Amino acid sequence: MAETTSGKSIHLRIWRQKRGEQKGRFENYTVKNVLDEMSFLEVLDLLNEDLARQGQEPVEFDSDCREGICGTCGLVIKGVAHGPGSGCTTCEIRMRPFRDGETVTVEPFRAGPFPVIKDLVVDRTPFDRIQQAGGFVAANVGSAPDGNAVPIPKEDADKAMDAASCIGCGACVAACPNGSASLFVSAKIAQLARLPQGEPERKRRAWAMVNQMDAEGFGDCSNHGECEAVCPKAISIENIAVMRREYLKAFIGGSD
């Protein structure tokens, strides 16, 4: 009896690299029985199951929540950070838009400060160091106050919440032709700059985080807007203008 399939076949052209310091290359694979409702990561799971059965080394890639929350799953699919979808992470990409027999290129996030660890996994700890430089409120405030105890204008609260939705996935860096982390850094700065809780450390925060971003080797922003286009949380590049104003104020008035 002929073998029947319940889905389509997808040809994957995947970047393989044993270690960051070694030379990488693209390798070709075919995954069969791909269903439209599958996520892209589930297709990679199918591929790895096949490779394991054949005694070959599976493809390394990052994932965690698989619900579009953490951003760990960042891949470049068909030349687009997180893939050909709007406002979603790689794990939220479904296979409906991909044609039967289509060849799909899959790469890691490409940026100097994000070195490849293995295959599709990159080191995004520079973001952690930027956050540690000032993306927090250090004052001891005791227990959480009542939500209405500190009046905040709704427009400021809304913009702060929009900036706070940044998940630090790094897609903005991967999409930027300069490898800039300005969208990520500006979201963290703008979030607290718009709230009274962030006021005491406002100048020091902007100064420290921008300087740390530069020290990590990220490029400068030239307003291409690619970062906003691929951001899974639709962070606005308006935050970059806020970051620049905050940094200028710290430079003029002192960062202490």
Rounded Cα distance between 31 and 242, Å, is: 46
What is the token pair recorded at 47? 């591929």
Q: How many helices (H) and strands (E) does the chain have?
A: 8, 7
Q: Quick one: pLDDT band at residue 240, thresholds 50, 70, 90?
A: very high
Global pTM exceeds 0.75: yes
In sequence order, the β-bridge partners of residue 26 are: 15
C-beta separation of 199 from 186 below 8 A: no
- Give burial (CB, 10 Å; 0-12/13-18/19+) of 147: exposed
The highest-level CATH class for domain 124-253 is: mainly alpha
pLDDT confidence of residue 255: 65
In tens, the pLDDT along 20-60 reads 778 999 999 999 999 999 999 999 999 999 999 999 999 99
Rounded Cα distance between 153 and 168, Å, is: 26
From the list 116, 111, 107, the residue with the least C-alpha distance to 183 is: 111
Provide the strand spans (E) within the chain. Answer: 8-16, 25-34, 76-77, 80-81, 103-107, 116-118, 121-122
Fold observed for domain 8-118: Ubiquitin-like (UB roll) (3.10.20)
What is the separation of C-alpha 205 from the centre of its chain, rounded to a whole number of angstroms? 22
Identical fold for domains 8-118 and 124-253, yes or no, is no
In tens, the pLDDT along 127-154 reads 999 999 999 988 776 777 776 788 899 9
Kindly state the DSSP code that residue 150 receives in the 8-state scheme. S
Rounded Cα distance between 64 and 24, Å, is: 25
Kindly state the DSSP code that residue 92 receives in the 8-state scheme. G
Backbone CA torsion sign across 129, 133, 136, 142 = positive
C-beta separation of 190 from 93 below 8 A: no
Q: How far is CA 149 from CA 145, 152, 196, in A?
A: 6, 9, 12
C-beta separation of 139 from 226 below 8 A: no
- Taking the domains of the chain in order of start, what are their residue ranges? 8-118, 124-253
The tokens 């100048």 sit on which residue?
203
pLDDT confidence of residue 232: 97
What is the token pair recorded at 151? 């009046």
In tens, the pLDDT along 79-134 reads 999 999 889 999 999 999 999 999 999 999 999 999 999 999 999 999 999 999 99
